[in-house]
Every structure is written in structure tokens, then in C-alpha cells.
């Protein structure tokens, strides 16, 4: 296979891996499973190409010696391989966790994601440096030969991925018991007995329910400020839902609380309101369409237990079908807005 063919195919596959990996953090319902399929197919499809790419890299080293770009390429390759190995370990044996600065103790999936994130800027620098050579060959991405290359890479990826799944199931390894997102069960109807995590370095506040207030403002007909007793006076409902954390675990619980739609209706939702922003005491926030928000719950209990401090006491958001980053804890404010529901970073920046 020619150098140009290898490089163009790698560019397409790596782009698919990065985009699908980022997209996987946003998918919490079964309808989005195709994002994870794409990620796995592209990742395993890379394997035969890496053999050819290694030969190209070694030729470049012999010809040019050690330069800034060859060092960069080597670092990129190392990070990619680390991300692949930790992802594979997580999906099979389940081992491979460790500790990282800021993040602390993390799972094999966390290491997979971390190395993948570190790989992205180096990959972008490499692409930008090579772009003048690639730009004139853009038609090569969509011709008949390119289609055949991608089909072969996809077939190799499918066979390797499914073989790995079969071996894992046959061996009874931990990776066989995971959700379509890759997350593993860490509690089912167990109350507060499931992992306590925050987004990056987000603090864990101590809130007295007697002093807690819920503000409902923004584009509302009537601003509200509810104390805990007033909030608790709303009708309580139960809802079974899965909290799927991007850290690689999920828990299924029965959540008890107040429908977010009931609180919104009390404040009055005008026709021009397009989104709902749920704010935490910590400053953390996530935005949803009004339609999505109406299906959510402001929970005060988890499977018959009062929420613990680490799990969002006194009130947390339950957002079925969304990953754990969207389940805002320590809710203190509900804001209606005329901005669209997608008007925020895909992943939290705060």
C-alpha cells in the first residue's frame, strides 16, 4: 500500500475515532448506539494500517533523522497506542486503572479517554503541518479506491471487534458485563451505595436544607423562590432511571422527587422560551430544550434513601437518556431562556 493511501486512510479513521469518541460522551440512550459502533469499528480498523504506517515512520527517521516533526509523530503514535491499549483492556479484562493529576484515581476507561484527549492536539498539529500536501488530494478521499479502502478497514474492524467480544464473553472476563456505552454496573436499586464523583475539580458543597432555596427565573411569567418545605409540597413521583457516568460505570435506581415540569408550570412558561438551564450551587450548569426538561425530575431521594451530600443533597436533577455529566447536583436555580437547547459547549467547561 502506498504512503499516500496509508496516510489518507489513517486521516479518515482517526477523524472518525476522535469525533465518535467525543460524541459518545453525549449519548445516553440506545438510539445513539451507532456512535459507539463507529468508534469501535474505526479503532479496530486502524490495526492493519499501523503496520504500514510504522514502516513509513521508520523510513522517515532514516532519511531525515530526529527532527521536531518526527518527535511529534512519535509522541502522537505513543499516545494513540496507550489510548487503544487501555480501551481494549477496559472492554475485555476490565483492568488497567490508575491515578492521574487533578483527576485522581480513574478507571481504565478514564485512562483511555485521557490519553485520547492528549493525542488530539498533537494529531491536529501534524495534520496542519501536512495539510499543504493533502489539500491538493482532497478528491482522493471520495473516489472509488477510497471507498474500497474504507470498506476493507471497516470489515477488518468489524471482524476484530466481534472476535474480541466473543473471546471476552467466552472467557467470562469483566468486560463482558457492560452497557452499550462501555460502562459497568456499580449498583442497582442500592440507594446511595454507588460511586460519588464530580466533574473534574468541581467542589462538593455542604448545604443545609433549612437554608436552601430554589430560584426559578429568566424568561418566566412569575419568578419563584422556593424554600425546601415549599418545594417539598409539590406532588412527589417515582421514576426508575439509569445514571450512566462517563467515568465508566452506571447505576440503576428509583428516584423520588418533583417533576421539573410542575415547577416550570408554577412559574409560567411563555411561548418564546426555548431552553431551560439547570444551575448547581457550585456554578456548574447544563442546558436543555423545554421539551427535554419537561421529562426530568428534581430528586430528593434515591431508592427510598435521602440523597447523600456527595450525590447532590438536598436536590439533584434526574435526566433520563442523558449521560451523568447532565445530571446536575445541588440544584439551586432553574433558568428559562430564549436561546436554543444546543447553545452551550458539548461538555462542561466550568
User: How much is the pLDDT for 71?
Assistant: 78
Domains and CATH numbers, the chain: 3-182 (no CATH), 187-337 (3.90.420.10)
Q: What is the residue whose three cell numbers read 421529562?
A: 295
Angle between helices 3-24 and 108-135 in degrees, nearest 10 = 140
Percent of the chain with pLDDT over 90: 54
User: How much is the pLDDT for 239?
Assistant: 96
Q: What is the pTM of this model?
A: 0.85
Question: Which range, 32-41, 115-124, 138-147, has the best average confidence (pLDDT)?
Answer: 32-41
Which residues 6+ apart lie within 8 Å of 106 measured at CB?
97, 98, 99, 100, 114, 247
Let me know if 48 is exposed, middle or buried by CB neighbors in 10 A (0-12, 13-18, 19+). Answer: middle
Q: What is the residue whose three cell numbers read 474500497?
A: 148
**Residue pLDDT, tens place only, 102-138:** 566 778 888 898 899 899 898 888 778 776 665 555 5
**Residue pLDDT, tens place only, 50-63:** 777 777 777 777 77
Cα 227 from Cα 192, distance rounded (Å): 24
Average confidence (pLDDT) over 232-255: 95
DSSP result, 303-326: TTEEPPGGGTTT-EEE-TTS-GGG
Angle of CA points 17, 23, 28, to nearest 5°:
130
Amino acid at each position: 500500500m502506498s504512503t499516500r493511501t496509508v496516510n489518507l486512510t489513517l486521516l479518515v479513521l482517526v477523524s472518525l475515532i476522535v469525533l465518535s469518541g467525543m460524541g459518545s460522551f453525549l449519548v445516553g440512550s440506545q438510539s445513539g448506539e451507532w456512535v459507539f459502533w463507529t468508534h469501535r469499528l474505526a479503532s479496530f480498523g486502524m490495526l492493519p494500517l499501523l503496520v504500514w504506517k510504522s514502516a513509513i515512520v521508520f523510513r522517515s527517521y532514516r532519511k531525515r533523522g530526529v527532527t521536531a516533526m518526527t518527535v511529534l509523530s512519535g509522541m502522537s503514535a505513543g499516545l494513540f497506542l496507550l489510548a487503544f491499549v487501555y480501551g481494549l483492556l477496559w472492554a475485555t479484562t476490565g483492568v488497567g486503572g490508575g491515578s492521574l493529576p487533578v483527576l485522581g484515581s480513574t478507571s481504565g476507561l478514564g485512562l483511555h479517554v485521557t490519553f485520547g484527549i492528549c493525542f488530539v492536539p498533537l494529531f491536529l498539529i501534524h495534520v496542519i503541518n501536512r495539510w499543504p500536501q493533502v489539500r491538493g488530494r482532497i478528491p482522493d478521499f471520495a473516489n472509488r479506491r477510497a471507498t474500497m479502502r474504507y470498506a476493507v478497514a471497516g470489515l477488518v474492524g468489524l471482524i476484530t471487534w466481534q472476535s474480541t467480544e466473543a473471546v471476552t464473553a467466552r472467557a467470562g472476563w469483566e468486560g463482558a458485563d457492560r452497557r452499550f456505552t462501555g460502562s459497568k454496573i456499580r449498583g442497582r436499586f442500592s440507594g446511595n451505595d454507588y460511586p460519588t464523583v464530580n466533574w473534574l475539580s468541581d467542589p462538593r458543597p455542604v448545604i443545609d436544607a433549612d437554608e436552601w432555596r430554589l430560584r426559578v427565573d429568566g424568561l418566566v411569567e412569575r419568578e419563584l423562590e422556593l424554600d425546601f418545605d415549599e418545594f417539598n409540597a409539590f406532588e412527589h413521583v417515582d421514576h426508575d432511571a439509569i445514571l450512566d457516568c462517563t467515568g465508566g460505570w452506571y447505576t440503576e435506581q428509583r428516584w423520588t422527587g418533583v417533576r421539573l415540569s410542575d415547577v416550570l408550570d408554577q412559574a409560567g412558561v411563555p411561548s418564546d422560551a426555548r431552553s431551560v438551564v439547570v444551575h448547581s450551587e457550585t456554578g456548574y450548569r447544563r442546558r436543555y430544550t423545554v421539551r427535554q426538561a419537561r421529562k426530568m425530575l428534581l430528586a430528593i431521594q434515591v431508592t427510598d434513601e435521602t440523597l447523600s451530600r456527595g450525590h447532590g443533597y438536598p436536590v439533584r436533577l434526574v435526566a433520563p437518556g442523558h449521560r451523568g455529566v447532565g445530571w446536575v447536583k445541588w440544584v439551586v436555580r432553574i433558568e428559562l431562556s430564549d436561546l436554543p437547547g444546543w447553545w452551550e459547549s458539548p461538555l462542561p467547561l466550568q
